[in-house]
Amino acid sequence: MDYRITDDSELVRRRQQLGDDDALAELVRRHYTRVQAIVRPIVVKDAATDDVTQEVFVRVLRGIKGFKQSAEFTTWLHRIAVNACYDFLRRESRRSTESLDMSGPGDIAVDTTPSPSEASSEQELSQQIGHALLRLSPKLRAAISLVVLKGLDAAEAAEIEGCATATMHWRVHEARRKLSKILEFPLQREDASRASKQ
Amino acid sequence: MTERDSNTTQANGGDDLDAALRGWAGSFDRPEGETDMSSLVDAINQRLETPLASRVDVAGTSRIIGGLAIAASLLFMAAWGLQRMPRPEAGSVVNVTALQDEDISRQRRLVRGVYDLFGDRLSWLVVSPEGMRMGVDESSEPLDGDSRDAWRRFTGLRLVVVRRQETEEAWETVRELDVLAPLEQLVALDGVRLNQSEVGGQSDLRLWSFLLPDGGVAIDIEGALPVFGVLESGSHVLQPGAVTTIAGATADGWQYRLLQTAVVVDTSSGETGA
């Protein structure tokens, strides 16, 4: 069987019903990197990225019955990926909330990283971007992941997130604004016009 | 008093920023040949073969064991160590209650009443002892689609500033502020005072709330508050009834804490969630 021409849902079905590992291998070959690329900016931590990405494939294989043939497989896959990230972050958040409670109220995040102007290498910039992403809410990180990095349009990203397109536009706007501030990147076109005062 | 909703700043560019982000993401790319597909398939198969229940059990068991250990420690402390412990430095448990049913009912009535007057232009409301402020969006289109849908469920966030003398145990409330806004509506507040005299000065706060998949509420808050200084934080995840300390400061012999608690109010059913 030529798996290269088999569609995604058929590959999932073959793995589920026939235990066909070649079908799973083809599915992984097609999608692992792209799922990883969605997951990484949301969970940020490198070790967690592989863990969550693998979890996405497990969910796909376990949940294929919930997939409607009329829907786009990749949209469904991306939605599972984003939700797997949220689940992971929720667990992490509970842990960190517990540790925050233990350490008291003085632990407000303070930017102690050097400014980009002080960074001399790409590695430092990369670290700064990682730190900056961690300071965004998960939803804003997902917006960056889907729209800015994955290149989806806001309507597609909104479908994955189950929100209004306008909401997705707003999230991207807000995420860019915050990242620009944290990283001291000037936005190219900034119409900082506040609406007219009453 | 009415003021403009100031969340209309537009930033549509970000080419350098986007390029930097793409560079960051691209730095993790590996050529296809370098990825060990067979070990990935093995890892996924291994997870698939692990029953969900046992995966949950492992975490659940360790949590229970951890909980029992903590409970045992607390009992031990209570029985043997309490009298020898230093005075409750913690004053840590601040007696501020979460929003009560009557608060929520009042908020719901307020939103309905103001919405009747301003309709879709109503962006947010802030209620303090001095009165009420509102954000009114005069742009032609609401930021988040249909405001009526947006206000069907809104976040009721209470910010409370408490303080005590460093030598005292009891905290006193010096300021309460209720912020009512639809989920995902940015609330930009400048010039709101959290305290009339002692804390002094004015605030510049931006708040934004959204629902998490488990029904919890996450709130982003940033800006500046006198005494507390610059608040730049990630999301605070709130659970129903939880009161969270989000900032602490000391000034002129006083200890200050900024607390927050939130609920999601459903205007159509009369129920609350979060």
ipTM: 0.79
**Cβ A90–B212 below 8 Å, yes or no?**
yes
Contact A136 B234 (CB under 8 A): yes
pLDDT of residue A40: 94
- Which of A20, A174, A184 best probes binding to B when mutated, by most B CB atoms within 10 angstroms? A174
Cβ-nearest to A109 among B28, B141, B232: B232
Structure tokens belonging to residue A92: 């992490």
Per the CB < 8 A criterion, the answer to whether B218 and B209 are in contact is yes
Q: pTM of the prediction?
A: 0.51
Q: In chain A, what residues touch B10 (CB-CB under 8 Å)?
A: 173, 190-193
Mean pLDDT to the nearest integer, B76-84: 31
Which residues are CB-neighbours of B158 under 8 A, at least 6 positions away?
B99, B103, B176, B177, B178, B179, B260, B261, B262
Q: State the average pLDDT over residues B34-61.
A: 64
Q: Determine, for residues B4 and A195 on separate chains, whether the beta-carbon distance falls below 8 Å.
A: yes
Contact A135 B214 (CB under 8 A): no
CA distance B3 to B22: 39
Query: In this predicted model, what pLDDT tens digit does every residue of A16-56 receive, in sequence order?
Result: 788 888 888 888 888 999 999 999 999 998 888 999 999 99
Smallest Cβ–Cβ distance between A54 and the set B20, B44, B138 belongs to B44
The one-letter amino acid at A166: A
DSSP 8-state class, residue A13: H
Tokens of A39: 């997951």
Out of A148-157, A181-190, B198-207, least confident range? B198-207
Closest CA to B142 of B8, B268, B10: B8
Q: Cβ distance A73 to A8 under 8 Å?
A: yes
CB contact under 8 A, A106 and B6: no
Distance between CA atoms of residues B202 and B196, nearest Å: 9
With 80 as the cut, is the pLDDT of residue B199 above it? no
Do the chains contact at B216 and A90, CB–CB below 8 Å?
Answer: yes
- Which pLDDT belongs to residue A78? 92
**What is the mean pLDDT of the segment spanning B66-90?**
33
**The residue to which tokens 């949220």 are assigned:** A86
Rounded to an integer, what distance in angstroms lies between the CA atom of residue B60 and that of residue B64?
6
Q: For A107, which residue in chain B has the nearest alpha carbon?
A: B247
Going A160 to A165 to A170 to A172, the CA torsion angle's sign is positive
Yes or no: say if A146 and A152 are a contact pair by the CB < 8 Å rule: yes
Residue B65 has pLDDT above 70, yes or no: no
Place of tokens 């043997």: B80
Identify the closest residue of chain B to A38 by CA–CA distance.
B25
Contact between B178 and B156 under an 8 Å Cβ cutoff? The reply is yes
Q: How many CB atoms lie within 10 A of CB A150?
A: 18
Query: Which residue from A139, A186, A187, A135 is spatially nearest to A161, judged by alpha carbons?
Result: A139
Smallest CA–CA distance from B217 into chain A, residue: A90
What pLDDT, in 10s, does the model give residues B103-139?
888 888 888 888 888 777 788 888 887 778 888 765 4
In angstroms, the separation between the Cα of residue B108 and the nearest Cα of chain A is 24
Contact A198 B2 (CB under 8 A): yes
Alpha carbons B274 and A86: distance in angstroms, whole number: 16
The angle at the Cα of B77, spanning B71 to B80, to the nearest 5 degrees, equals 135
> A-chain residues within 8 Å CB-CB of B32?
29, 33
Burial class of residue B248, CB neighbours in 10 A (0-12, 13-18, 19+): middle
Q: Residue A195: which of B139, B27, B45 has the closest Cα?
A: B139
CA dist., res. A139 & res. B219, Å (int): 11
Beta strand segments in B129-243, E = 131-136, 153-165, 172-182, 187-192, 203-211, 217-225, 229-238
Which among B20, B35, B232 has CB closest to A125? B20
Q: Percentage of chain B with pLDDT > 90?
A: 1
Query: Would you give the DSSP letter of residue A77?
Result: H
In three-state secondary structure terms, B167 is coil
Q: How much is the mean pLDDT over chain B?
A: 67
User: What is the model's pLDDT at position B91?
Assistant: 40
Q: In this structure, what DSSP letter does residue B135 have?
A: E
Could you tell me whether strands B131-136 and B3-4 are parallel, antiparallel, or unpaired per DSSP bridges?
parallel
If you compute the radius of gyration of chain B from its CA atoms, what whole number of angstroms results?
24
**B48, closest residue in chain A (CA to CA):** A58
Q: Which CA distances in Å does B121 have to A3, B3, B146, B227?
A: 54, 12, 10, 34
Cα-trace Rg, chain A: 20
The pLDDT confidence band at residue B101, using thresholds 50, 70 and 90, is confident
CB contact under 8 A, B37 and A198: no
